Amino acid sequence: MNWTVEYIKKETPTTITLHFTTEKEISFQAGQWYLFDAIIDEKKIKRAYSISSAPSKNEADVTVTLVENGIFSTYLHSLQPGDTINAEGPYGRFIIDEDATELVLIGAGSGIAPLMSIIRTIIKKNLDIKVTLLYSSKTQENIIFYNELTQLSKRETIHVHHTLTVEQWNGMTGRINKDKIEHLVTDFSTPTFYICGPPLMVNAVQHILLEKNVEAQRIKTERYH
C-alpha cells in the first residue's frame, strides 16, 4: 500500500518524523512496525520501522534516525511532502497491553519510537495505566521527543527519566543498568516491561529483569539492528 508524506518534523539534528497519510484504512496496534520498500540505486531495498504515533485509520508517524552509511535511512531523510513509499504490515508482537495497570518502558536511541506509540495510545484512549519511562540518549540534543516527553511528565501517571551516555548534565548519566532500574522500579511483581533498542542493551535489561524474578510473559522486547 502506498503511503504519502504529508509533512516532516525535525526531532533532533539527526532524527525526523515522517507523517504519512494513506488512501486505504490501516489497522495497527501500538508498538507494531511496518516493512517499507523502495528502489534505491536500481535495487529494491526493504527496511522495518516502528510506528511512533497512536493508531489511526488513515495516518501514521514514522520516526527515523539517520544512520551513517545507512542506505534506507538516508533515502527516508530525502523524502519530501507529496512523496510516496510502499508499506506492508503491520507486524510484531511488541504490543501494548491495555489491561495492564502499570507499564515500565525502557528504551535507547530510536528505540523510543514504539514506546512513544504506547504512551500516546494510553493518553488517546484515556487508559488507567501508570507509566514509567527510562530512556537513554547520547546527548541532550539527541533526545527524541524531548519537549513532548517533558510535557507528558507533568501528568500524574507518567514518569519520565532520561540518562545520557556521552554528555554530562544535571540528570542521570551512563548506560541503563541494574542500579538505575532498581532505583526507578520499587515493585517488580506488577508491571509489564517493554524494552526497545540495540540488541546488547535489550539483552542486558532482559537478563536483569529475569534475575529480579519477573516472569518472561511480562517482558516484551524489540531489538533494533
Q: Could you please state the CATH topology (level 3) that the domain comprising 102-223 is classified under.
A: Rossmann fold (3.40.50)
Q: Indicate the helix (H) or strand (E) that contains 183.
A: helix 178-184
Mean pLDDT score of the chain: 97
Q: What is the mean pLDDT of residues 75-102?
A: 97
CATH architecture classification, 2-91: Beta Barrel (2.40)
Tens-place pLDDT, residues 23-35: 899 999 999 999 9
Tens-place pLDDT, residues 43-85: 999 999 999 999 999 999 999 999 999 999 999 999 999 999 9
Q: Which residues contact 10 (CB under 8 A, 6 or more apart)?
A: 16
User: pTM to 2 decimals?
Assistant: 0.96
- The answer on pLDDT for 225 being more than 80 is no
CA distance 96 to 56: 15
Q: Which of 199, 203, 205, 193 has its CA nearest to residue 223? A: 199
Give pLDDT, residue 156. Answer: 95
b/e sequence 82-113, b meaning 16+ C-beta within 10 Å? eeebebebbebebbbeeebeebbbbbbbbbbb
Domain ranges of the chain: 2-91, 102-223
